[in-house]
Amino acid sequence: MEQSHNLFQAAQLMGSSAWQSFFRLALPMARPALAVGVALVAMETVADFATVDYFAVPTLTTAVYDTWLGYGSLSAAAKLSVLILLVVFTMVGVERFARRKQALYQQGVQDAGQFKYQLKGWRKWAVFSYCTMLLATGFLIPFLILVNYSYHYFEQSWHDEFWQLSINSLMVATIVSITCVLLALLLMFVKRVSPYRQDLLPSRLVSTGYALPGTVLAIGVLAPLTYIDFAINDIYQWLGMKGPGLLFTGSLAALVIAFTVRFAAIAIGSIENRYKTMSPSYDMAAMTMAQKPWQLFYRIHLPLLRKAMFVGALLVFIESMKELPAALLLKPIGFENLATYVFQYVSDEQLEQGALAAIVIVLVGLFPLIYLNKSIEQNYADVNH
Amino acid sequence: MPMLTINNLHSAYQGQVVLQGVDLSLAEGDILALLGPSGCGKTTLLRAIAGLQPTSHGQISIANTLCNDDGVLVPSEQRHVGMIFQDYALFPHLTVAQNILFGVSEKNPDLRAQRLQEMLALVRLQGLAERFPHQLSGGQQQRVSIARALAYRPQLLLLDEPFSNIDAQVRGQLICEIRQILKQLNISAIFVTHSKDEAFAFADQLALFKAGKIVQCGRPETLYELPNDRYVAEFLGSVNYLPASIYDNYQVDTPIGRLSSRTALNKPISYAGELLLRPQQFELLGDDNSDAVISERRFLGNHCHYVVDILQYRLQVHSEQTQWQLGQRVKLQMKAHSLVVF
Reported as a single tens digit per residue, the pLDDT across A26-57 is 888 888 888 888 888 888 888 888 888 888 88
DSSP B335: P
Contacts of B149 in chain A (CB under 8 A): 289
Chain B contact for A299 (CB, 8 A cutoff)? yes
Q: Provide the residue type at B38 as one letter.
A: S
pLDDT tens by residue, A331-376: 888 888 889 988 888 888 888 888 888 898 888 888 888 888 787 7
A292 touches chain B (CB under 8 A): yes
Q: How far are the Cα atoms of B71, B190, B201, B210 from residue B24, in angstroms, in the given order? A: 21, 11, 21, 14
pLDDT at position A181: 96
Indicate if B29 and B142 belong to the same structural domain.
yes
Same domain, B99 and B185: yes
Mark whether B38 and B107 lie in a shared domain: yes
Say whether residue A286 is in contact with chain B using an 8 A CB cutoff.
Answer: yes
- State the nearest Cα–Cα gap between A379 and chain B, in angstroms: 15
Structural contact between residues B247 and B269, judged by C-beta atoms closer than 8 angstroms = yes
Do B279 and B185 reside in the same domain of the chain? no
| B244 and B104 both lie in a single domain | no
Q: Of B181, B199, B230, which one is at a domain's C-terminal end?
A: B230
To the nearest whole Å, the CA of B83 is away from the closest chain A CA by 6
CB pairs under 8 A between A and B: 63
Domain count within chain B: 2
Considering the domain architecture, whether residues B169 and B291 belong to the same structural domain is answered as no
pLDDT at position A385: 41
The residues that bridge with B6 in the sheet, in sequence order, are B24, B60
Round to whole Å and give the CA distance between B209 and A220: 57
- Selecting from A287, A290, A300 the residue whose C-beta is nearest the C-beta of B91 gives A300
B18, B97: one domain: yes
Backbone angles phi, psi at A323, to 5 degrees: -60, 125
Strand partners for B279: none
Residue type, B273: G
Name the 3-class secondary structure at B169. Answer: helix
Q: Is the confidence at residue A384, as pLDDT, over 50?
A: no
Domain end (from B212, B230, B248): B230
Q: What is the pLDDT of residue A156?
A: 78
For residue B44, list chain A residues with Cβ-Cβ distance below 8 A: none
**Are B53 and B199 in the same domain?**
yes
CB contact under 8 A, A285 and B81: no
Find residues 260-279 of chain A whose CB sits inside 8 Å of chain B: 279
Residue that is last in its domain, among B163, B197, B230: B230
The more confident residue out of B201 and A380 is B201
Q: Do B202 and B251 reside in the same domain of the chain?
A: no
Q: At what angle do helices B138-151 and B168-184 cross, to 10 degrees?
A: 20
Query: CA–CA separation, B8 vs B255, rounded Å?
Result: 43
Q: Is A384 in the B-facing interface, judged by CB distances under 8 Å? A: no
Region of A86 on the Ramachandran plot (φ > 0 left; ψ -120 to 50 alpha; else beta): alpha
Same-domain status, B90 and B201? yes
Q: Which of B50, B77, B93 has the CB atom closest to A292's CB atom?
A: B77
Residues of B in contact with A303 (CB under 8 A): 93
B167 and B273, same domain (yes or no)? no
Q: Rounded to an integer, what distance in angstroms lies between the CA atom of residue A286 and that of residue A201?
A: 26
Lay out the sheet containing B2-13: strands in order across: B16-27, B2-13, B57-62, B65-69, B72-73
Which residue of chain A has the CA closest to B154? A289
Instruction: Measure in Å the smallest separation between the Cα of B96 and chain A Cα atoms.
Output: 15
User: Angle of helix A214-238 relative to helix A252-277, nearest 10 degrees?
Assistant: 120
User: Which residue of chain B is at minimal alpha-carbon distance from A382?
Assistant: B134
Angle (deg, nearest 10), helices A302-322 and A351-384 = 160
Coil, strand, or helix at residue B304? strand
Residues of B in contact with A196 (CB under 8 A): none
Summarize pLDDT for A268-301 with one digit per residue, the tens: 999 999 999 898 899 999 988 888 889 999 999 9
Amino acid (1-letter code) at residue A240:
G
Inter-chain touch A289–B47, beta carbons under 8 Å: no
From A281, which residue of chain B is nearest by alpha-carbon distance? B89
Could you tell me the CATH number of the domain that includes residue B270? 2.40.50.140
* DSSP 8-state code for residue A119: P
Question: What Cα–Cα distance (Å) separates residue B84 from each residue in B100, B101, B116, B188?
Answer: 13, 15, 18, 13
Which of A122-136, B4-18, B190-204 shows the lowest mean pLDDT across its residues? B4-18
Return d(Cα A255, Cα B304) in angstroms, integer. 80
Chain centroid to Cα B133, Å, comes to: 28
Residue bearing the bigger pLDDT, B280 or A2: B280
Q: Spell out the SS3 assignment of B93-137.
A: CCCHHHHHCCCCCCCCHHHHHHHHHHHHHHCCCCCCCCCCHHHCC
Residue A303 pLDDT:
94
* CB within 8 Å of B122: residues ≥ 6 apart: B147, B150, B181
Residue B80: domain span: 2-230
Q: Would the pLDDT of A380 be above 60? A: no
Question: Which of B13, B14, B43, B52 best tests the A interface by mutation, with the highest count of A CBs <10 A?
Answer: B52
* A318-324 mean pLDDT: 89
Nearest CA in chain B to A302: B93
Same domain, residue pair B242 and B307: yes
Contact state of A279 with B89 under an 8 Å Cβ cutoff? yes
Beta pairing, strands B205-210 & B31-35: parallel
Burial class (CB within 10 angstroms; exposed 0-12, middle 13-18, buried 19+) of A176: buried
Smallest Cα distance from B158 to chain A, Å = 10
Hey, CA dihedral for A284, A286, A288, A292, is it positive or negative?
Answer: negative
Cβ contact B54–A195 (<8 Å): yes
Give ipTM to 2 decimals: 0.77
